[in-house]
Amino acid sequence: MWAGTSTNLIHVTRDGGKNWANVTPPNLPLGTINVLDASHASAGAAYAAVLTRDSHPHIYRTTDYGSSWNEIVNGLADGAVVRAVREDPADASILYAGTVTGAWVSFDRGDGWQSLQLNLPTTVVSDVTVHGDDLVISTYGRGFWILDDLSPLRQARQAMASTAPAYLFKPAPASRARWDNTQDTPLPPEMKVGDNPPEGAIIDYYLAAPASDAITLSITDAAGALIREYTSTAPAPDTTMANVPEYWLAPPTVLKTSAGMHRVNWDLRYPDPPVLNYGYGGNLLDYREYTLSWHALPGQTPRTTLVGPMVLPGTYAATLSVNGRTYTQRFDVIPDPRVTVPPAGLASQFRLQQRMVAGIAATYQAFNFIQALRNDPAAQPIDAALNEIASGPAGLGTAHRDLARRLNDQLVGDLEPTPSITAAVDASCAAIDAALARLRDLQTKNAGIAPLAAWKAPPARGCDAPPSVRSNR
């Protein structure tokens, strides 16, 4: 154990406190041993932050229980009086320091320091601690700041030693935590509040030079099946009428191709299913039926909260494709420790959600096709039949709405589906299958209507289609 005093002394005991040895460095400047941090990796190593009034930074390091000390302040700005120093528990080569002007980091046990200020205002950093994969600091005036995800810092040496044109950092384990489900009134955008940590898996990549072509980032499961894909090509503008001002809505994720560090957040979900948000045949399918006010943040609110299913805990892979080369890192999605639903229950919910999303997508495509077809004069003889298939009581629109409502209302949390929910979904899926069968039958009997004859019908069982993957959304 180590002890530092307000009278500028350092002591160490190696027998549980029975005997203490004074190991204060000679010629230590007058001040207070403000923080004394014992190494997590070496029993004889420790770091001392000395708070002085001489306006100079002072940090000392020992590797031999205080028999010898070295002052390690190279790179620290003069005037940056040190208040705290801490070793990264996951990598003993990385140190963090808090000074009266900000935050600093060293990648070589203190031999050299560089600023870790980022968006931190110039302020006194009174203490520093590492919690899991995050760096937490306290500042003068009772402030707390968190640097989310230290994975890139812990891999910085390997990245800089790489001669490859790109480097994909291994993501830290991502917690499978859901949004809060309360329907609160969002705070006005002018009200300043703290930011939540990035959602899901944080994926960082580095480009040594600007990419010469489009790049992609793919997320796959343990079996190699594609879940999500992001690209550097911006998607076509979403012209869906929003029910909130545009400044609330999050832009699509578009990968950056410039040289340097870049970050992408995968929300641990499959793509959002397409949603009908307009009415035909007197049957209003209202976007507002699927939109809740939770997760409303200026510039970060999803355009729709009818979101894709969340993946199950397990191992996943991120693959970055740049200039004809690929870089892959595996990472874990870990359970939310607050969730008590057994894995089998979560798997049942996931399978049911996948069926619902497939049904929603099938009805969306078929419904839109029918409405476009009804505008063709050649389809006038079958207009009533098309309208019944699309908007009748047992039509595609009703099934679409019922599935969307259940997906948003009854399956937004972690739970094992009840028999009644499963039965209701089965009924909606059966209605979809029947409506699609009627549409295929109509297609067979009316081959002379060119658009109808050319239509590529969805699978016979609309809720059993494989999940779709759309870029950037």
Domain ranges of the chain: 2-147, 152-335, 343-464
**pTM (2 d.p.):** 0.89
Of 273, 243, 259, whose CA–CA distance to 211 is shortest? 259
Low-confidence ranges of the chain (pLDDT < 50): 278-293
* Residue in the block written with tokens 């935590």: 177
Q: How far apart are CA 114 and CA 94, in angstroms?
A: 11
| pLDDT single digits (tens) 100-137 | 999 999 999 999 999 999 999 999 999 999 999 999 99
Determine the CATH number of domain 152-335: 2.60.40.1930
pLDDT for 146 equals 95
Exposure class string for 31-63: b at 16+ Cβ within 10 A, else e: bbbbbbbebeeeeebbbbbbbbeeebbbbbbbb
Query: What sign does the CA torsion over 30, 33, 34, 39 have?
Result: positive
CATH of domain 2-147: 2.130.10.10
* Unique residue bearing structure tokens 């690209």: 231
| 314, 221 contact by CB (below 8 A) | yes
CB of 105 closer than 8 Å to CB of 153: yes
The secondary structure of residue 112, as a DSSP letter, is S
HEC states along 160-177?
HHCCCCEEECCCCCEEEC
Measured N-to-C along each axis, helices 343-374 and 383-391 cross at an angle, to the nearest 10 degrees, of 160
* 8 A C-beta contact, residue 122 and residue 128: no
